[in-house]
Chains A and B, each alone.
Chain A
Amino acid sequence: MKSAVIVFPGSNCDRDAHDAIEKVTGHKPAMVWHQESDLPEGTEFIMVPGGFSYGDYLRCGAMASRSAIMPAIVAHAATGAPVLGVCNGFQILTESGLLPGALMRNAGLKFVCEKAKLKVENANTRFTSHYEGGAELIVPIAHHDGNYFADADTLDRIEGEGQVVFRYGNNPNGSARDIAGITNEQGNVMGMMPHPERAVDANHGGTDGLKLFESLLGSA
């Protein structure tokens, strides 16, 4: 599968995303600068990486979600192609309207950098099919604004539709209903605060993120 990683000023997980995708597929993804207006020919999977695009000014992900490449990403997502946003990428996808809700300042007001315990809520997605439903994972988190918020109706709806994919075991940021990762209604766009790309090699201290890329990119 041909992949692209979007790079914004202030992205800092773009190379980790690159290496995780290369490890699983054997192919290097295209690194696409945010000022491009087209994706490389034949792109299937898009990853919007973590970092602090535009210094988190105004709101996390707000400026990045209005950058030149975004209309191409929105159009690509509308075709049903997979799009994954991690951390700042999740914030960018909610700001762009591709995912419901918003990510707010952590309830404890502190930047949290730790290994988070996650539960796979829905293993029946293209991002999680290699996991067992209910599996417990350890995946790193590192964010200041990961407090997932949506109104009660939206939360009920996404829970009912199986769009809640990952939940925290020990809620680190105040997220509504311990939500750590969600998909859109169609199931082809996923956002999550934890960093699966930082858990794909034994030298990372764990490989619990590997199956996400294997589920998605179709190899083992």
Chain B
Amino acid sequence: MKAKIHVYLKPGVLDPQGAAVAGALHNMGYDEVTAARQGKLIELDLTGDDADTARKRVDEMCSKLLSNPVIESYSIELE
């Protein structure tokens, strides 16, 4: 099984890297971009085939290490 974890900065947390990306896109003429936020995608290969157990344990991994609840939130996709 594979888990894909998206880690985002929470709304309201300043994202200077995202702001720089938006600025660069504007410089290239992509004026339709009103904001950019930069996050992370983490892929895990997992043993076992029980999706509920996997989701519970990956959720634990996210709150213990893969994200920082002070500044980030996350979502989990299993496939």
Q: Which residues of A contact B (CB under 8 A)?
A: 58-59, 62-63, 66, 94-95, 100-102, 104-109, 147, 149-151, 174
Assess A105 versus B17: contact at CB under 8 Å? Given A94-B70, A150-B70: yes
Check A174–B65 contact: CB distance below 8 A: no
Given known A104-B71, A149-B71, contact A58–B65 (CB-CB < 8 A)? yes
Please name all residues of chain A whose beta carbon is closer than 8 Å to the beta carbon of B70 when the two chains form the complex: 94, 100-102, 149-150
Contact B65 A66 (CB under 8 A): yes
Interface size class of B (residues with CB under 8 A): 10 to 19
Max count, chain B CB within 10 A of own CB: residue among A58, A62, A66, A147? A58
In the complex, what's the smallest C-beta–C-beta distance from B1 to chain A, in angstroms? 22
Q: In chain B, residues 37-79, which have Cβ atoms closer than 8 Å to a Cβ of chain A?
A: 64-66, 68, 70-71
Task: Tell whether, in the assembled complex, residue A58 and residue B66 are in contact, meaning their CB atoms are under 8 Å apart.
Answer: yes
Bound together, the chains give a CA A105 to CA B71 distance in angstroms of 12
In angstroms, Cα B6 to Cα A158, docked, is 31
| Shortest distance from the beta carbon of B7 to any chain A beta carbon, whole Å | 9
Interface pair A104/B14, CB less than 8 Å apart: yes
How many Å lie between the Cα of A102 and that of B68 in the bound state? 8
B interface, CB within 8 angstroms of A: 12-14, 16-17, 20, 64-66, 68, 70-71
| Contacting pair A108 B16 (CB below 8 A) | yes
CB distance from B22 to the nearest CB of A (A): 13
Q: Which of A62, A63, A106, A109 contacts B68 (CB 8 A)?
A: A62
The reply to whether A174 and B16 contact each other, CB–CB distance below 8 Å, is yes
26 A-B pairs with CB atoms under 8 Å apart are: A62-B65, A63-B65, A66-B64, A66-B65, A100-B70, A102-B68, A102-B70, A102-B71, A104-B14, A104-B16, A104-B71, A105-B17, A106-B16, A108-B16, A109-B16, A109-B17, A147-B14, A147-B16, A149-B13, A149-B14, A149-B70, A149-B71, A150-B70, A151-B12, A174-B14, A174-B16
Q: How far is the CB of A2 from chain B (nearest CB, A)?
A: 31
Given contacts A109-B20, A147-B14, A151-B12, 9 further A-B contacts (CB under 8 A): A58-B66, A62-B65, A102-B68, A102-B70, A102-B71, A109-B16, A147-B16, A149-B14, A150-B70
Chain B nearest CB from A91 CB (Å) reads: 10
A206 to chain B, nearest CB (A): 30
Which of these, A59, A100, A107, A150, contacts B16 with CB under 8 Å? A107
